[in-house]
Structure 1
Amino acid sequence: MKRGWSLSTRLALLFGGLLLACGLAATALQIHAGEQREQEVVQRLSLGLAGHIAGHELLMLPDGPDAGNVQRLFTKLMDVNPSVELYLLGPDGKIIADAAPPGHLKRHQVNLAPLQRLLAGATLPVWGDDPRSEAGQKVFSAAPLWTNGRLAGYVYVVLIGEEHQALLHPWADAPAHIGAMALITGLAMLAGLLALRAITRPLQRLTRIVQHFDHDGLAGLEAAQQALANEPPSNDEIGRLRQAFGHMAQRLAAQWQDLSHQDQQRRELVANISHDLRTPLTSLHGYLETLKLKAALLSEAERARYLDVAIGQSRQVGRLAQELFELARLEYGAVTLSREVFALPDLVQDVCQKFALAAEARGQRLQADIAPALPQVDADLGLIERVLTNLIDNAIRHTPPGGLIELRLRALGQAVEVRVRDDGPGVLEHLKPHLFVRPSFQTGLRGRAGGLGLVIVSRILQLHGSQIRLMPSSQGADFAFQLAPVRT
């Protein structure tokens, strides 16, 4: 793909083009203004010339001027001052006499409106018709010619004649003007390029940093952050752009780390789920295979025991599959809250009654400690019931016979705090930092690991703007979370 010009080159060309256009326009305006000023000065200095000529004795005859004598007079006067052109006009503006060479006269009548304006004292310069041009206009001097008290015509003097105009053409000094303009433009261009280089240098450095990041990925991102930290501070547009890119680089680095962390968690989840599924499935397969191969050799009690074990393993697989389904729905935003106002103590009592027989069968004590006059909460009743179910089920499965499982409700500031505590083996130390973000199914004599149930609890509470916490405890596990009360 063809590479285009850089931003600096385009800015330099644009700046140079604008500077050249402005220089040419300034030169043209200067020449035009000089020409107009010159004509104004000439007209102002020679404004009374036509009046002096009109007072000549050849023009003051009783019967009016003689065209032949006027032509000879005009010829002599033009010999003395060749820059002017003299004409005698009739009252209607027709040219009666002139001293123009043969073939030079292009029109035979002059518009009298400019003469009237000049005689009335109009602001100079005033342009009138040039008889030696079909459409030209020039500055002039004019005076009325009176004979026996009547208007006999006008003396009309073109102040810048053909010879004068040929010697002082408005563009005659154009090379000098253009040369001066070129010198000024060149110096301005040099100064502009130096200023442009100083302005775009930080942008070029930022471009190299971005290209380095684009080429090297995460390693380039770290190098880009270091390079941006070494840049001198500035508050202009480029400085703000550099700061914005620095903030974006920090967010990208954090997101990259989060993605890597989530990918690692996902891999561990797959590995742990695979391990946890393999164990009950292997046991289930083994007992079913035994029942098939040795059905005739087993007693009724042995067959019943084998079936009970197989059913227990299948329930474990079903429970794990259900938890995986719930976690997937929470992770991908398929669950939406259906908030309602309810009394949390009533829900806790219902959940405790649901698990009373299971706790009694294990010889455990399940009790609720509820503070009086607790405010109602605004939450999804079904999901909060799922949170309590997971926590109590987890406590029952890991609490030894004779142990205590306690649910406690307390008002904490503007919220209601829920705590589920047991006196089982507690949580393995090395699993505590990631207990609610990644499931683990390792078990040991000194503690227990967190499974999918705690991860589901964490996701549900996040939807409610809350979080599950593992509280410090000398024995067993103590989980706590808070729910916001109804706002009145």
Structure 2
Amino acid sequence: MNLTLTQRLSLVFSALLLACCGASAWLQIRSNDLHEKEVVQSLSKNLADHIAHRTTLMDANGLRPDAVRQLFGQLMMVNPSVEVYLLDNQGRIEGDDAPAGHVKRGQVDLTPIRRFIAGDALPILGDDPRSTDGRKVFSAAPLQLNGQQPSGYIYVVLLGEEHDALAARVAASSVLRTTLWSMALVALLGLVAGLTAFGLITRPLRRLTDVMRQFDAEGEPGTQPVVPRSSPLGRRDEIAVLETTFAQMADRIGEQWRALTRKDQQRRELIANISHDLRTPLTSLHGYLETLSLKADTLGETERKRYLAIALAQSVKVGRLAQALFELARLEHGNVQPALENFSLVDLVQDVFQKFELPAEARRIQLRAGIPSRLPNVSADLGMIERVLTNLLDNAIRHTPDDGAIDVELVHKDGKVSVTVSDTGPGIPAEQREGLFERPLNAGGAQRGGLGLLIVHRMLQLHHSQIRLLDRDAPGTAFSFDLPTSEKPAIASAPL
């Protein structure tokens, strides 16, 4: 059956309620029956003893059968619910006043009789001579003749056949039917109240189910269904907590989905930019090589060398772009982990400056370093930080006009060394600043947000640091990042 949670809970509750009502009714009837038997047996427990001590039942020769039968008949006439029997020492029935054919067994178990005489807790049930397997409350007493040992027992069934017949008639009367109908009405009211309570309790769950069905991870935040959130008073309510948890989860899934969408869009843009940047140098390389092949006999030595130099420059550009792509792919897929070591950042800056000394001199660009007198070593991956500085300086040189300047400043503060690389170039337009370190506007670096900055961003993330674009009043661009220091300080070298 395809039932909802509320319907299943209602069915289970209905079954449990009916079972509880049935068990309660049975226990009530059972309790009333035992109570009645205990009361009757307590009130009449001395009846058999009174009969056993009547002197008219015995003479010098023993029991008088006619007197016994007459007494039994008188007692059963006065109280039709009692049945009196005379038993021997083995429990065999020696005398009774039952109609012919009503006695179904000839012997009674003496164990309950001995317990009754010993004074055990009531009620105690004994064999019913007028039933093959019935047991009823009774009164019993030993029968002694002339002060000798007991020669038998007086056995009185207190609730006999007449009582059973009367109880059966009462059971079929309107009183019992009214009682049963009252119990049924109470059960019905309890069922209705329980189902209503289940409906009220599960209403938040149904509301949450509807919201979950309407939830769309791809939808915009304004189009999502309103997810209920619990108030501070409902923090102990499990369903309210579930609503709040789902609301948080929905927000998180939505954010992650939108982030994945942005990542996918950035990947598409990256592929498009890379395709453009590769196509340009490859087309140029192919064109010059094709020219050299077709006009090898007509070109002069000077033109041939110029074409070869251009082709070689384009091939270097393609190789540099391919290497950057390979390095970025390794960083993106987590295949690279930093190997931390303690080293002097001052020495590293000097080494990087030496790499760019000739290109800077060719364009009359000044490379300047601001280094304090004492600077502690840093703890980082030497190769990665060298690549970070190389990319930043290469980027700065390509975007700094002739006769410009590039500054690298190192500042020690709060257990970290802050590195700032600034230039006197045209700066980065405001429309290109957002997502500068997450998407390359042009992979080849024609614009400021190329693969070089992506590689810098990923490498610094592996060092739990971030590359920052600083706002400044002066013209140009400034990038900054921090590295943790080691314990051993280093003395700065002479200014560069």
TM-score w.r.t. length of structure 2: 0.90
Contact conserved, 1:31 with 1:170, CA < 8 A, in 2? no
Distance 1:101 1:442, change over 3 A: closer
Name the CA distance, whole Å, in 2 between partners of 1:402 and 1:220: 50
Instruction: Give the Å deviation of 1:225.
Output: 4.3
1:157-306 correspondence to structure 2 within 5 Å: 157-169=156-168, 172=171, 175-213=177-215, 218-219=218-219, 222-226=222-226, 228=228, 234-235=234-235, 236-306=237-307
Instruction: Give the Å deviation of 1:303.
Output: 0.7
Residue number in structure 1 paired with 2:51: 53
1:413-424 correspondence to structure 2 within 5 Å: 413-424=414-425
- After the TM superposition, which of the residue ranges 457-466 and 72-81 deviates more from structure 2? 72-81
- After the TM superposition, which of the residue ranges 291-300 and 217-226 deviates more from structure 2? 217-226
1:79-158 correspondence to structure 2 within 5 Å: 79-150=77-148, 151-158=150-157
Q: Does 1:460 align with 2:462?
A: no
Instruction: Give the Å deviation of 1:487.
Output: 6.8
Name the CA distance, whole Å, in 2 between partners of 1:157 and 1:98: 10
Residue number in structure 1 paired with 2:40: 42
Instruction: Give the Å deviation of 1:30.
Output: 0.6
Name the CA distance, whole Å, in 2 between partners of 1:471 and 1:185: 76
Name the CA distance, whole Å, in 2 between partners of 1:467 and 1:383: 14
SS in 1 for 2:228: helix
Name the CA distance, whole Å, in 2 between partners of 1:171 and 1:371: 111
- 1:404-432 deviation per Cα after TM superposition (whole angstroms, max 9, x unaligned): 22222110222111111222232233212
Structure 2 gap segments, 5+ residues each: 489-496
Name the CA distance, whole Å, in 2 between partners of 1:404 and 1:390: 17
- 1:18-45 deviation per Cα after TM superposition (whole angstroms, max 9, x unaligned): 0000000000011111111111111122
Instruction: Give the Å deviation of 1:472.
Output: 2.4
Name the CA distance, whole Å, in 2 between partners of 1:115 and 1:106: 19
Name the CA distance, whole Å, in 2 between partners of 1:288 and 1:312: 12
SS in 2 for 1:226: coil
Name the CA distance, whole Å, in 1 between partners of 2:220 and 2:452: 40
Contact conserved, 2:428 with 2:448, CA < 8 A, in 1? yes
Structure 1 gap segments, 5+ residues each: none
Q: Does 1:482 align with 2:482?
A: yes
Considering only aligned residues, what root-mean-square deviation do their CA atoms show, in Å? Answer: 2.6
Q: Which letter maps to 1:35?
A: D
Instruction: Give the Å deviation of 1:172.
Output: 2.8
Instruction: Give the Å deviation of 1:255.
Output: 1.6
- 1:32-75 deviation per Cα after TM superposition (whole angstroms, max 9, x unaligned): 11111111111122122212222333323232103344223312
Distance 1:487 1:148, change over 3 A: farther
Name the CA distance, whole Å, in 2 between partners of 1:167 and 1:487: 103
SS in 2 for 1:374: strand
Instruction: Give the Å deviation of 1:222.
Output: 4.0
Q: Does 1:469 align with 2:471?
A: no
Contact conserved, 2:274 with 2:444, CA < 8 A, in 1? no
Instruction: Give the Å deviation of 1:227.
Output: 5.2
Instruction: Give the Å deviation of 1:354.
Output: 2.8
Instruction: Give the Å deviation of 1:232.
Output: 11
Name the CA distance, whole Å, in 2 between partners of 1:22 and 1:240: 32
Residue number in structure 2 paired with 1:312: 313
- After the TM superposition, which of the residue ranges 276-285 and 452-461 deviates more from structure 2? 276-285
- 1:369-403 deviation per Cα after TM superposition (whole angstroms, max 9, x unaligned): 32233222222221111111111121222223333
Instruction: Give the Å deviation of 1:170.
Output: 11
SS in 1 for 2:156: strand
Contact conserved, 2:420 with 2:479, CA < 8 A, in 1? yes
Instruction: Give the Å deviation of 1:337.
Output: 2.2
How many residues of Structure 1 are paired with residues of Structure 2 in the alignment?
482
Name the CA distance, whole Å, in 2 between partners of 1:30 and 1:170: 20
TM-score w.r.t. length of structure 1: 0.91
Distance 1:379 1:169, change over 3 A: farther
Name the CA distance, whole Å, in 2 between partners of 1:68 and 1:316: 137
Name the CA distance, whole Å, in 2 between partners of 1:273 and 1:313: 15
- 1:178-236 deviation per Cα after TM superposition (whole angstroms, max 9, x unaligned): 3222111100011111111111122212211111225xx54486444435379998432
- 1:270-320 deviation per Cα after TM superposition (whole angstroms, max 9, x unaligned): 222122122212221221122122222221111111110110011111111
Contact conserved, 1:221 with 1:249, CA < 8 A, in 2? no
Contact conserved, 1:24 with 1:181, CA < 8 A, in 2? no
Distance 1:355 1:443, change over 3 A: closer
- 1:418-467 deviation per Cα after TM superposition (whole angstroms, max 9, x unaligned): 111222232233212222111123999xx952211011101111111111
Name the CA distance, whole Å, in 1 between partners of 2:366 and 2:151: 138
- After the TM superposition, which of the residue ranges 108-117 and 320-329 deviates more from structure 2? 108-117
Contact conserved, 1:391 with 1:454, CA < 8 A, in 2? yes
Q: Which letter maps to 1:344?
A: L
Distance 1:340 1:61, change over 3 A: farther
- After the TM superposition, which of the residue ranges 298-307 and 229-238 deviates more from structure 2? 229-238
- 1:105-151 deviation per Cα after TM superposition (whole angstroms, max 9, x unaligned): 23333333322322233222122222222332211112222221112
1:359-370 correspondence to structure 2 within 5 Å: 359-370=360-371
Distance 1:345 1:171, change over 3 A: farther
- After the TM superposition, which of the residue ranges 11-20 and 123-132 deviates more from structure 2? 123-132
Q: Give identity over the alignment, percent.
A: 53
- 1:216-264 deviation per Cα after TM superposition (whole angstroms, max 9, x unaligned): x544864444353799984322211111111112112212221222222
Contact conserved, 1:35 with 1:170, CA < 8 A, in 2? no
Q: Does 1:328 align with 2:363?
A: no
Q: Which letter maps to 2:69?
A: Q
Q: Which letter maps to 2:16?
A: L
Name the CA distance, whole Å, in 1 between partners of 2:242 and 2:440: 42
Name the CA distance, whole Å, in 1 between partners of 2:469 and 2:277: 24
1:425-436 correspondence to structure 2 within 5 Å: 425-436=426-437
Q: Which letter maps to 1:201?
A: R
Distance 1:232 1:93, change over 3 A: same
Distance 1:487 1:261, change over 3 A: farther
- After the TM superposition, which of the residue ranges 250-259 and 307-316 deviates more from structure 2? 250-259
Instruction: Give the Å deviation of 1:77.
Output: 2.5
Instruction: Give the Å deviation of 1:167.
Output: 2.0
Name the CA distance, whole Å, in 2 between partners of 1:55 and 1:92: 21
Name the CA distance, whole Å, in 2 between partners of 1:451 and 1:8: 58
Name the CA distance, whole Å, in 2 between partners of 1:393 and 1:29: 93
Residue number in structure 2 paired with 1:25: 23
Contact conserved, 1:233 with 1:239, CA < 8 A, in 2? no
Q: Which letter maps to 1:198?
A: L
SS in 1 for 2:346: helix
